[in-house]
Chain A
Amino acid sequence: MAHFTKATSVHDWLNQRLGIDTVRRVMATEYWIPKNINFLWAMGMVLAITFGLLLVSGIFLLMYYQPNVATAFDSVNYTIMREVEFGWLWRHIHGVAASVVFLIIYIHMFTGIYYGSYKKGREMIWISGMLLFVAFSAEAFSGYMLPWGQMSYWAGMVITNLFAGGSLHADGLVEWIRGDYVPAQAFLNRFFMLHVLLIPLAILGLIGLHFGALRIPHVNNQDGEEIDFEAEAAKYKAGDKKGSKVIAFVNDFMSKDMMVVGFYLIFFFYLVFFHYDFAMDPVNFDPANGLKTPAHIYPEWYFLWSYEILRPFSTDIGLIAFAFAQVIFVLLPFLDRSPNTVPASRRGLFKYWFWAMLVDMIVLTAMGKLPPEGIFSTIGLYAALTFIGLWIILPFITKSEKKA
Chain B
Amino acid sequence: MKDISRRGFMGKAFGAVAGVGAVASLYAMKKSWDPLPSVKAAGFTTLDMSDYKDNELVTEKWRGKPIFVLKQNAEMVETAKKNPKDMERLIKVGESYYMICVGLCTHLGCIPGYNPEEKSFLCACHGGMYDATALVTKAPPPRGLDIPPFKIDGTKMVLGEEGPEYKKMLESGVTLKV
Contact = CB atoms under 8 A, between A and B. Distances in A.
A26 interface: no
B140 A315 contact: yes
B111 interface: yes
B64 A179 contact: no
Contact of A290 (B33, B66, B139, B176): B66
Contacts of A228: none
Interface string A260-297: 00000000000000000000000000000011111111
A181 B33 contact: no
Contacts of B34: 176, 179
A138 to B, nearest CB: 16
Interface string B26-58: 000010011110010010000000000000000
B24 interface: no
Contacts of A314: 139-140, 142
Given A184-B64, A313-B140, A158 B36 contact: no
B39 A158 contact: no
Contacts of B18: none
B127 A293 contact: no
B137 interface: no
Contacts of B178: 171
A245 interface: no
Interface in B7-36: 30, 33-36
Nearest to B63: A181
Nearest to B42: A181
Contacts of A318: 140
B100 to A, nearest CB: 16
Nearest to B64: A182
Interface string A149-185: 0000010011001100011010100011111111010
Contacts, number: 87
A117 B65 CA distance: 49
- Between A290, A296, A371, the greatest number of chain B beta carbons within 10 A of the residue's beta carbon is seen for A290
Nearest to B59: A291
- Taking chain B's interface residues, is the majority helix, strand, or loop, or is none over half, making it mixed? loop
B125 A158 contact: yes
Contacts of B144: none
Contact of B65 (A290, A292, A295, A371): A290
Contacts of B142: 166-167, 314-316
B74 interface: no
A186 interface: yes
Chain B interface size, as a band, is 20 to 34
Chain A interface size, as a band, is 35 or more
B140 to A, nearest CB: 5
A158 B110 contact: yes
A397 B141 CA distance: 37
Interface in B65-124: 65-66, 104, 106-113, 124
A85 interface: no
B126 interface: yes
- Between B64, B109, B111, B178, the greatest number of chain A beta carbons within 10 A of the residue's beta carbon is seen for B109
A190 B64 contact: no
Contacts of A294: 124
B110 A181 contact: no
Contacts of B176: 169
Interface in A279-334: 290-297, 311, 313-316, 318
Interface in A324-346: none
B147 to A, nearest CB: 15
Contacts of B35: 175-176, 178-181, 186
B121 to A, nearest CB: 12
B168 interface: no
A291 B61 contact: yes
B166 to A, nearest CB: 17
Interface string A357-380: 000000000000001110001000
Interface string A180-201: 1110101000100000000000
CB-CB nearest 5 A-B residue pairs = A293-B111, A182-B64, A372-B127, A161-B109, A293-B110
Given A181-B39, A373-B127, A377-B127, 11 more contacts: A171-B178, A176-B33, A180-B39, A180-B64, A181-B64, A186-B39, A190-B33, A290-B61, A313-B140, A315-B141, A316-B142
Interface of A: 154, 157-158, 161-162, 166-167, 169, 171, 175-182, 184, 186, 190, 290-297, 311, 313-316, 318, 371-373, 377
Interface of B: 30, 33-36, 39, 42, 59, 61, 63-66, 104, 106-113, 124-127, 139-142, 176, 178
